Amino acid sequence: MGLVEAILLTVFTAATPLLIAALGELVTERSGVLNLGVEGMMIMGAISGFAFAIYTGNPYIGALAAIIVGILFSLLFAFLTISLVTNQVATGLALTILGLGLSGLWGEAFVGIPGVKLEPIIVPFLSDIPFIGKLFFQQDIIFYFSIILLFGVSWFLFKTRAGLILRSVGDSHSSAHSLGLSVVKTRYLAVMFGGACSGLAGAHLSLVYTTQWIENMTAGRGWIALALVVFASWRPNRVLIGAYLFGAVGIAQLHIQALGFKIPTQFLSALPYIATILVLVIISQNRRLTMMNTPSSLGKGFVPDR
């Protein structure tokens, strides 16, 4: 039971940033905007969260700083793609490259410096329950927030008028505009939400997952979060399943090596990305399901009638 508990704890920790980033991107894509800059926003969240936690000695301020930096990066993307109607794919890729470059430059001074850990919240009495207590009642605040965020996004999208407006904009921005809905405002807010989630996901990596700064420490997790949105068919509840599945695949390499299996480390490191490709290939076989849930205006620029 101790080994199972240890494995599940590492899966929870590995899945949390994927879940948060994927939920943020899901809301963004539901508005019709495809932001491929998740990786760039995550890595900037990781370095800003780490740096501000070091400066202030407070990891909560670091997490808040990561959210703000994520929003600022998303605003840059929103201005270019929504206001200036640039190509969303090219702009998202440029945002990722910019984030990787800036984080490397900023983080050079923090290499090798011990970070400030975001300590887990221990719930009295409940944390003493065998097995379950340590898994669910001795976790960091970002883990709990990710679960709340899951239910919050589901409620917002399918139970509120604002969520209906968001989905309407993503399904047909022209029709939404003709009904008097603000397509630009809705998309700006959705992109900002996605940026905030990506920044917080990055902060989880440098404040919880690994309490130190390592260049390119996101290691492609932003791309996996993008794949998770497709895997979930743009449904929040399925994102949870996908995030924990990919989280398990990601930490499998550590436990496989610990158990003494003679498998090349390069192959084990590639496992999460191999799994991503396989899942996308499988999903693409059911074109009807994919097209049914895909926002019709996804990736398309909107120019209001003059």
Nearest to 218 by CA among 95, 39, 98, 85: 39
Distance between CA 261 and CA 34 in Å, rounded?
40
Taking the CA atoms of 260, 265, 269 and 274 in sequence, report the sign of the dihedral they define: negative
Question: Which residues span the domain enclosing 188?
Answer: 2-113+140-293
The whole-number pLDDT of residue 74 equals 97
In a domain, 19, yes or no: yes
- Cα 179 from Cα 175, distance rounded (Å): 6
- Amino acid type, 233: S
DSSP run (H or E) holding 58: none
Has residue 304 been placed in a domain? no
Give the pLDDT band of residue 281 (cuts 50, 70, 90). confident
Look at residue 164 in the predicted model and tell me its pLDDT: 96
Amino acid at 112: G
**138: its two tokens:** 């001795």
In-domain check, residue 130: no
pLDDT mean over 108-112: 90
**Domain total in the chain:** 1
Q: Tell me, yes or no, whether 123 lies in a domain.
A: no
Whether 259 has a pLDDT exceeding 80, the answer reads no
Pairing of strands 121-122, 138-139: antiparallel
Q: Is residue 128 part of a domain?
A: no
306 has a pLDDT exceeding 60: no
pTM: 0.92
Q: Return the bridge partners of 145, or none.
A: none
Identify the band that residue 39 occupies on the pLDDT scale cut at 50, 70 and 90.
very high
Residue 132 counted as domain residue: no
Whether 305 is in a domain gets the answer no
Name the H helices within the chain.
2-30, 38-56, 59-78, 88-107, 132-136, 141-159, 161-171, 173-178, 183-204, 221-231, 236-258, 265-285, 287-293
H or E element in which residue 128 lies: none
The partner residues of 256 in beta bridges, in order of sequence, read none
Task: Identify the CATH number of the domain in which residue 161 sits.
Answer: 1.10.3470
